[in-house]
């Protein structure tokens, strides 16, 4: 998912001509880089004092360096306040990825702490993932989705890799590497089969049979010519109530080939499957597009949640989205809700469904079922 500040950095990429720098410019760039690191030195020191785990400190330091080095030179040559803003946002994002609280607290539960994958090559990782499928190292975690009274409406199934060396790895650390290969099709198929099998088990449980289960579908999988038939076959084999299954598609995927997207969604709608547009609010959808797409839900991107309680502009954007979806008869859910202030603000704006750490982190199946019971 691309954030606004990442998009800003991309738009300002220097031209090849600008990359030929004089000694003076190189000195200025070096100074700007030093400014970037100095701005977050206090956070690094604080983390070092809090955590004795050398491996986690190394991961943080490595990822932080990579993040800062991705900032284009054109951004670094801008005013110092601009550099502060970008560094602040990048560092905050990294803290969240590592389950570190920006203000000093941390969740360092070993079984849940994300690990940085380090492999010699992409081919090596792909080979390990094939082994992971065979050895059943892939698993689904579940994050609750609630209404305004915190009643659980459903869950989102989130892929995790229980790596024998690195521990629990979130999908955003390994899926991008295999998305350009056929391996992503095998993984997506496994996720769909596992999710539908889980819905089948829940049908006999009064506490779980009415839950909606959301599953992310990759562009590669959805664009397969036989995707509709594949999912139809899985639904028939598991015998589930397809209305309990919701597929989440990204905004960019839906708009890439809108005619074909509509055709596939309508075909699966006939089977009962529901659809949600993921990460809405950071792309380029227009009202005309939303009118055409047979959607059940829009998921407001978590980027808009970060400052919604203190930034009037973000609140206006979210309010506009909520009002628009209501008029179109589409449900709306806000993801990335992490504080009571955000929750209260969203309720005041008319949001009906919520997902985020405030209501529960992604958890293994046994923990989720224990929580419900």
Q: Model confidence over 197-217: pLDDT tens digits?
A: 999 999 999 999 999 999 999
User: Residue 289: what pLDDT?
Assistant: 73
User: Residue 116: what pLDDT?
Assistant: 45
Mean pLDDT over each residue of the chain, to the nearest integer: 77
Model confidence at 1, in pLDDT bands (50, 70, 90)? very low
The answer to whether residue 74 scores a pLDDT higher than 60 is no
Contact 69, 9 (CB under 8 A): no
SS3 label, residue 326: helix
Q: What is the mean pLDDT of residues 322-334?
A: 91
List residues bridging with 249 in a β-sheet: 277
The answer to whether residue 112 scores a pLDDT higher than 50 is no
Q: What is the mean pLDDT of residues 248-263?
A: 85
User: What is the C-alpha to C-alpha distance for residues 329 and 298, in angstroms, rounded to an integer?
Assistant: 11
User: What is the C-alpha to C-alpha distance for residues 85 and 115, in angstroms, rounded to an integer?
Assistant: 27
User: What is the C-alpha to C-alpha distance for residues 296 and 331, in angstroms, rounded to an integer?
Assistant: 6
CA neighbor of 248 nearest in space, from 211, 210, 219: 219
Share of the chain above pLDDT 70, in %: 64
């Amino acid at each position: 998912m691309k954030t606004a500040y990442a998009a800003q950095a991309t738009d300002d990429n220097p031209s090849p001509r600008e990359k030929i720098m004089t000694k003076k410019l190189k000195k200025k760039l070096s100074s700007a880089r030093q400014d970037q690191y100095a701005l977050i030195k206090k956070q690094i020191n604080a983390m070092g004092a809090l955590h004795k785990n050398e491996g986690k400190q190394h991961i943080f330091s490595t990822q932080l360096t990579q993040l800062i080095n991705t900032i284009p030179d054109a951004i670094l040559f801008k005013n110092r306040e601009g550099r502060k803003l970008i560094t602040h946002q990048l560092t905050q994002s990294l803290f969240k990825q590592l389950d570190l609280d920006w203000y000093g607290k941390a969740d360092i539960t070993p079984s849940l702490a994300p690990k940085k994958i380090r492999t010699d090559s992409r081919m090596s990782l792909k080979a390990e993932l094939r082994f992971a499928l065979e050895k059943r190292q892939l698993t689904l975690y579940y994050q609750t989705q609630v209404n305004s009274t915190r009643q659980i409406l459903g869950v989102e199934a989130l892929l995790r890799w229980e790596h024998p060396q690195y521990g629990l790895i979130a999908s955003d650390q390994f899926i991008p590497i295999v998305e350009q290969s056929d391996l992503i099709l095998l993984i997506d198929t496994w996720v769909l089969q596992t999710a539908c099998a889980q819905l089948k088990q829940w049908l006999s449980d009064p506490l779980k049979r009415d839950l909606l289960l959301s599953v992310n579908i990759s562009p590669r999988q959805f664009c397969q010519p036989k995707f509709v038939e594949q999912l139809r076959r899985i639904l028939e084999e598991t015998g589930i109530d397809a209305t309990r299954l919701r597929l989440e598609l990204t905004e960019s995927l839906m708009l890439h080939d809108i005619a074909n997207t509509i055709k596939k969604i309508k075909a699966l709608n006939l089977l009962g499957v529901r659809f949600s547009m993921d990460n809405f609010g950071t792309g380029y959808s227009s009202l005309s597009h939303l009118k055409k797409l047979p959607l059940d839900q829009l998921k407001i991107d978590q980027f808009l949640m970060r400052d919604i309680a203190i930034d009037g502009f973000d609140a206006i954007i979210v309010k506009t989205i909520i009002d628009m979806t209501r008029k179109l008869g589409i449900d709306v859910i806000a993801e990335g809700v992490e504080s009571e202030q955000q929750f209260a603000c969203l309720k005041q704006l008319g949001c009906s469904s919520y997902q985020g750490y405030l209501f529960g982190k992604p958890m293994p199946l046994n923990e989720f079922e224990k929580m419900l019971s």
